[in-house]
Structure 1
Amino acid sequence: MRRRLALLVTATACLVLVAFLVPLAVLIRAVAEDRALVAATADLQGLVPLAATTATPDLATLASGADRPVTVYLPDGTPVGAPAPRTPAVELAARGRSLTAEAEGGREIVVGVQGRADGTVVLRTFVPDEELSRGVTRAWLLLAGLGMALLLVGLFVADRLARTLVTSITELSTVSHRLAGAELDARATPSGPAELRDVAGALNHLAGRIQDLLREEREQVADLSHRLRTPLTALRLEAEALGDPAEAARVTAGVDAVERAVSGLIIAARRATPSPFPAECDAAAVVRERVAFWSVLAEDTGREVRLDLVDGPLPVPVAAEDLAAAVDALLGNVFAHTPDGTPFAVSLRQDGVLSIADEGPGLPAGAGERGESTAGSTGLGLDIARRAGHTLRLSTSHTGGALVTLELLARP
């Protein structure tokens, strides 16, 4: 922006300088020519009274005593004084005219002196081009220096103005990027022109409004999550009252998982700023634990589960709660959208790619769009999984069922 403003000022200043300095330079040249011609004419006019009264033999002395070279043409056409050819202008002056005419290398001034008994005497002087343009070059150099100085002053002022604008705009850009990076306490200092100050004020107001909205959203989510604790407590009591210890343990484990998810949701909702430390978990352990949880329901519904996990820990830059929620969402889709008895497979490769494939009817139209569902659900399960990984892909397995691939970006 500074460069563009500098170019704009340079172009504008050059146009203004050309519009003023070129006519002024032409005027200076014209004034110099007029000054030289007026001085030569005045010198020649001063000799006219003498030429009208001086005897013919003394006219040569008159020509040689002039301040500048003067040629005197006698009535019979004989030139005396400074040697010069007889030009058409001299012929016109011999008829009683006085004029200034162009000549090679300058201007000639001729004056016809009448009233003598022996005829008309013509006085001629020559003004060379050097005299006509004397002082013009110096004046033009002064004008060029003045124009350059004005241009530099304009560039300096433009640079200072551009620096002020760029500084303000850069600060606004920095604050906007900080806000985009979840630094909601970032604020811009109003500076620069009135328009930029208004933008800074609007940006600060927007940041404050975002903070208020997020605070209200966190409180609403936290309050809603907290209200779930009461029915969870009732479910826990009913699970403990079951006669079958295995069934009671299974239901209690499910209630515990839901309660952990609710507690994590409350903590995340009340967290004002993101943690400065990146989240990380062992993907193999989390996936194994969630598959073991869903294997109980799979056994009840007659589903075969094929599990293929990497050996050893597999660290990925995802929080354990988020990865568990993603696996639960994907496996929950298998149970929700395929009939009982449909087998499914879960695999986790060393590069952090999690794949869940089933042998069901395949993906319905519009699957994968947020909020869209053909099974009466919220349609947010895949979006939960997408937020936990880097890339989520939906395709068809080799058996014709659905294949969901989630890249977790495993750390080397």
Structure 2
Amino acid sequence: MLKSWLARNAIFKAKYTKWAFLALLAIVSFISLLPLTRKYTIVLNSSTKEVHNTWTGEELLDTLDAERKRIQSALVNFTFPTESSTRSIKELLLEEGGAQHMTIIISYWRSGSTFLGDILNSHPATVYFYEPFKSYRAQQIRSPPHSEEAYQLLTQLLNSNYSDTEAYLEFEKNRNSFVKQKNIPLHRVCKHKGAKCFEPHFLSQFMKLYPFMVMKITRLRLSLIEPFLISLRYNLRVILLVRDPRGIMTSRSHHAWCNKDPDCAQPLHTCSDMIADYATAIRFSEMFPKRFMVLRYEELAFEPLKKTRELFRFMGLKLHRSVLKFLLTHTKFKAGGAFGTFRNSTATALAWRTTSPERILNIQSQCEIAIRLWGYRFIRNFMDLQNFSPLKPNFTVAKHFRLDAEEGVNCKI
């Protein structure tokens, strides 16, 4: 078509024909290569729609302001305990120069951490980080280089600075809907916003709106949290959630993803981590008595209301009515699958007793020290297993402990 047009126009038959033609091609090529930095066009059902791939200034301000008002509404009549040094929500707002109230749960796969995380997440005006190291799959982070990577990411998340978190955000974009829904505020705001909600500029501002932050981690060992507890920059509390290794390993055996790595599949790996965490827990209990707490999952499952009251007292918060509502609706019956928390919590904690004696004996043989360190009873008689209670009463983390009264063995960590 272009050649026919040229043939019909004498001007292009002159000596400048070739140069004019090349100039035209250059212009067309330049236009086709222009980057679509602000918006692009898609055709859907024969209609044209404009889809912005970034926030406009007005849209961002409106979104943040709407969320700010929602938070204020959720905290109407909110008060702190009389013994708390915090007197106003403003003291906890990063965007106001305050120190966000942070709680990190350190635990193990299949140890009730989702249940505990959901309890804390039911508190109003809370933003929840569910497994920020999920990209490590079934591997544990214990030492460099992964521990250094974890430190960098945690630092950025705790400071609400997303300027250098490309790998983390890219992984988060592709996580399943169950995980995304755990961060209730972000899921609500971003349900129809797509990739815009993973822009560092937006997240850095959005996360600073919230006075309370909860983070659940099962891939990072306890000792690696120490720099954040030492730092005066963070208003941080750490909860170490442990569970009977027999319950942990029995629950994991039902999940194919766990069998791909020895960190998850082998009792010895997990129980070695539990022993190391016990030694760290001794130090933390002495160094940070008001900011570090140990909780056994079975205690929470057997007495959810009592233990939740203790948890919020440790956190320096009152037990809010929204938390009570969560407990009433999530500890009576089972629903929601293996990762859901609508369940009979006591039955779930002791479900491992129905497994074979051979499996239990195998776990016990590899985890005897961890079982005893964390205050669990050792099974010797399988005749009345369904009435067996694994918890030793009055458990505390201590430097000196007695493995078994009848064995007369004393140990020191």
TM-score bracket for this pair, using the shorter chain length: under 0.3
Higher relative contact order at CA 8 Å, sep ≥6: structure 1 or structure 2?
2
Q: Which structure: greater helix fraction?
A: 1
Query: Radius of gyration: which is bigger?
Result: 1
